[in-house]
Amino acid sequence: MEQRTYNQYCATARTLDLVGERWTLLLIRELLTGPKRFGDLQSSLRGLGTGLLAARLKHLEREGLARKVTLPPPARTPAYALTRAGEELGPAILELARWGLKWAMADLRETDTFHPGWAVLGLRACFEPEAAAGLHAVYEFRIDDELFHARIDDGVIEALHGPAQRPDVTVSISQEAFLRVTGQGLSFGEAIESGAASASGDEEALRRLRGLFRLPVPQVRGADRPSS
């Protein structure tokens, strides 16, 4: 498959030459939270066929954005991980996520799919570093059977798939409730207060959870256009 190009000597155009094809940025989104097996990627990106997934991964490898790795024991299976260049796309993807939360989400459509693991990147996108000053805590989140955790270290967050070894706080919520409260612009802390989610653990870490993640207030695109 011949790679399309804008043929412009421009940093934005050159970047889009590399990651502008359909599914490519979503593949990078998946790999930002750690190495993934081919089957993991296929499960998270429903609608992406096996052949196109393989082609997109080969493209990322060829362009130096992803590489093949072997997962550590006990898995010991082949997987894909981002290179340094791929990881440095993280801030750009987080900014796209923040923009989307504010300007693009609107209502859940009947044709939309949702994977609870996507909330891992959402934690990073909604994180408030100022509210985490001086905080050292690990939060484990459970959306139905999906587990992920966030390690907060004095204003810095590391959010990853999988359970935490020794969480200070554990938050549980159903997928249905999660979609409902996020659609209302509520944070995990507010979901706990409303009863939509349950939590247990260290009282101080629980108290500070309310301010750690803030969803932007949804806006209507074009609402600032002057009336004719």
The pTM for the full model equals 0.86
Per-residue pLDDT of the chain (228 residues; tens, 9 = 90+): 567 899 999 999 999 999 999 999 999 999 998 999 999 999 999 889 999 999 999 999 999 999 999 998 887 899 999 999 999 999 999 999 999 988 988 777 888 888 888 889 889 999 999 999 999 999 999 999 999 999 999 999 999 889 999 999 999 999 999 988 887 778 888 889 889 999 999 999 999 998 999 888 888 888 676 655
What pLDDT does residue 225 have?
Answer: 66
Give domain limits for the chain: 11-88, 116-212
Phi-psi region at 143: left, alpha or beta (left = phi > 0; alpha = psi -120 to 50): beta
**Domain 11-88 belongs to what topology?**
Arc Repressor Mutant, subunit A (1.10.10)
At position 144, the amino acid (one-letter code) is D
Which CATH architecture fits 116-212? 2-Layer Sandwich (3.30)
Compute and round to an integer the Cα radius of gyration of the chain: 19
Using CA atoms, how far apart are residues 23 and 15, in angstroms rounded to an integer? Answer: 15
